[in-house]
């Protein structure tokens, strides 16, 4: 069962001034640096979507396109060195994966090579750009998380399982600057208080912390979990899903890929759409438009996905009203 929910947003029109020196020559292959969090452990669909969108725009690897991949292998501390390597290669554009940390590393590595990000929460608060309408500098891209997303996940989980009284929020504390993380905690706390829930914030810096995180939840008596997904969690996705199932904890994720892999429910932006739009920005930059003149794109599609099979395995019956609102129900 599918339907799409489109959230309206205000499109900001800005003047674009070409830079002749940056125009891609017909006889020269475009050279893109792709900074990735974990190419082996992460769902390949975002990268495949980006490549397909480039093909649709006329770019083909081996003909007029070269992509230099640099993979942090799940270790965000490697981003700085990898970004420096891409700068040394003098790529035309850098696609900064790995969320905010990847984008920040790329920005610190160069002030001249254009940088496009696809999965960043609040690029202004994170210090990537000066404003959404006029980013300034050499960085632009798409925001993928609105600050109230965490509160919405808490609300949806309470609606799905009305009996819960204590909810845990699992997050990676350094996945974004402290100001942003404080905002997420605050929004979760406000939503929990409004719904009469007790909130427990549990931190995990990577998959190696998952077992201890669930042990803390169990000892505190958590009834359900909200996971603020970050790229550093993806290599341990299977372990995270297994722990939620083993502890019989209804869990809501901010990324649908976890539900497709067996999680109970998710709500969040259509990440694949962000990577399609990143490809269009690459094309514009290669044709001479400055990153400073390309406004930050905000989420236009949010998806609610429910895995009915997982819910039933937990002994839960999903409210019919929630099922009818879902963009997809996996049975």
CATH code of 20's domain? 3.40.50.2300
pLDDT tens digits along 258-310: 999 999 999 998 888 889 999 999 999 999 999 999 999 888 778 999 999 99
> Taking 70 as the threshold, does the pLDDT of residue 27 lie above it?
no
Band of pLDDT at residue 41, cut at 50, 70 and 90 = low
- The DSSP code for 277 is H
Strand ranges across the sheet with 139-143: 65-71, 30-36, 93-96, 115-120, 139-143
Q: What are the helix (H) ranges across the chain?
A: 45-56, 79-88, 99-109, 149-160, 178-194, 210-220, 237-246, 257-260, 271-286, 308-313, 320-325
∠328-329-331 over CA atoms, to 5°?
A: 145
How many domains, the chain? Answer: 2
3-class SS of residue 37 = coil
Range of the structural domain that residue 214 is part of = 149-268+303-330
Task: Tell me, yes or no, whether 98 and 195 share the same domain.
Answer: no
Q: Which residue did the predictor score with more confidence, 7 or 32?
A: 32
> Taking 80 as the threshold, does the pLDDT of residue 34 lie above it?
yes
Q: What is the DSSP string of 282-307?
A: HHHHHTTB-GGGSPPB---EEEEEEE
pLDDT tens digits along 80-139: 999 999 999 999 999 998 788 899 999 999 999 999 998 887 788 778 998 889 998 999
> The pTM is what?
0.74
Residue of 258, 276, 277, 279 whose CA lies nearest to 210 = 258
Task: Tell me, yes or no, whether 185 and 57 share the same domain.
Answer: no
3-class SS of residue 169 = strand
d(CA 13, CA 48): 29
Task: Tell me, yes or no, whether 81 and 153 share the same domain.
Answer: no
Residue of 71, 124, 128, 69 whose CA lies nearest to 98 = 71
d(CA 150, CA 122): 13
Counting Cβ atoms within 10 Å, is residue 209 exposed (0-12), middle (13-18) or buried (19+)? middle
Task: Tell me, yes or no, whether 67 and 79 share the same domain.
Answer: yes
Three-state SS string across 242-273, please? HHHHHCCCCEEECCCHHHHCCCCEEEEECHHH
- Asked if 280 contacts 118 with a C-beta cutoff of 8 angstroms, the reply is no
d(CA 85, CA 301): 34
Task: Tell me, yes or no, whether 36 and 182 share the same domain.
Answer: no
Task: Tell me, yes or no, whether 46 and 89 share the same domain.
Answer: yes
Q: How far is CA 85 from the centre of its chain?
A: 24
Task: Tell me, yes or no, whether 204 and 180 share the same domain.
Answer: yes
Residue of 50, 130, 141 whose CA lies nearest to 102 = 141
> pLDDT value at position 250?
98
Residue of 132, 116, 136 whose CA lies nearest to 124 = 132
Cα separations (Å) of 223 from 46, 64, 131, 167, 226? Answer: 32, 53, 40, 6, 11
Question: Mean pLDDT: which of 23-32, 73-82, 309-318 is highest?
Answer: 309-318
Task: Tell me, yes or no, whether 213 and 318 share the same domain.
Answer: yes
Task: Tell me, yes or no, whether 207 and 230 share the same domain.
Answer: yes
Contacts of 312 (CB under 8 A, 6+ apart): none
> pLDDT value at position 123?
86
Task: Tell me, yes or no, whether 216 and 106 share the same domain.
Answer: no
In sign, the C-alpha dihedral spanning 218, 203, 42, 306 is positive
d(CA 224, CA 247): 10
pLDDT tens digits along 143-202: 876 678 899 999 999 999 999 999 999 999 987 778 788 888 999 999 999 999 999 999
Q: What is the DSSP string of 44-59?
A: SHHHHHHHHHHHHTT-
β-pair partners for 224:
167
- Asked if 104 contacts 126 with a C-beta cutoff of 8 angstroms, the reply is yes
Task: Tell me, yes or no, whether 21 and 124 share the same domain.
Answer: yes
Task: Tell me, yes or no, whether 230 and 295 share the same domain.
Answer: no
3-class SS of residue 10 = coil
């Amino acid at each position: 069962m599918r339907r799409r929910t489109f959230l309206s947003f205000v499109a900001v029109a800005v003047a674009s001034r070409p830079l002749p020196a940056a125009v891609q020559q017909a006889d020269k292959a475009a050279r893109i640096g792709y900074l990735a969090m974990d190419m082996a452990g992460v769902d390949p669909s975002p990268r495949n979507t980006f490549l397909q969108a480039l093909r649709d725009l006329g770019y083909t690897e081996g003909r007029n396109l070269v992509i230099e991949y640099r993979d942090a292998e799940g270790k965000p501390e490697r981003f700085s060195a990898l970004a420096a390597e891409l700068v040394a290669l003098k790529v035309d554009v850098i696609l900064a994966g790995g969320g905010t940390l990847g984008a920040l590393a790329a920005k610190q590595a160069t002030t001249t090579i254009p940088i496009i990000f696809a999965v960043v929460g609040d690029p202004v608060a994170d210090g990537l750009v000066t404003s959404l309408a006029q980013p300034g500098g050499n960085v632009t891209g798409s925001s993928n998380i609105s600050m109230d997303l965490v509160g919405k996940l808490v609300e949806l989980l309470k609606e799905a399982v009305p009996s819960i009284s204590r909810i845990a929020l699992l997050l990676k504390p350094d996945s974004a600057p402290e100001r942003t993380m404080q905002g997420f905690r605050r929004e979760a706390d406000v939503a929990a208080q409004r719904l009469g829930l007790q909130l427990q914030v549990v931190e995990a810096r990577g998959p190696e912390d998952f077992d201890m995180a669930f042990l803390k939840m169990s000892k505190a008596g958590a009834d359900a979990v909200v996971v603020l997904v970050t790229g550093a969690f993806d290599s341990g996705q299977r372990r995270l899903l297994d722990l939620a199932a083993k502890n019989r904890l209804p869990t809501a994720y901010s990324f649908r890929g976890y539900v497709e892999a067996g999680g109970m429910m998710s709500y969040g932006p259509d990440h694949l759409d962000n990577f399609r739009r990143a490809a269009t920005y690459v094309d514009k930059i290669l044709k001479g438009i400055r990153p400073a003149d390309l406004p930050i794109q905000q989420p236009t599609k949010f998806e609610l996905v429910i895995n009915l099979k997982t819910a039933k395995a937990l002994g839960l019956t999903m409210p019919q009203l929630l099922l009818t609102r879902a963009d997809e129900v996996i049975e």
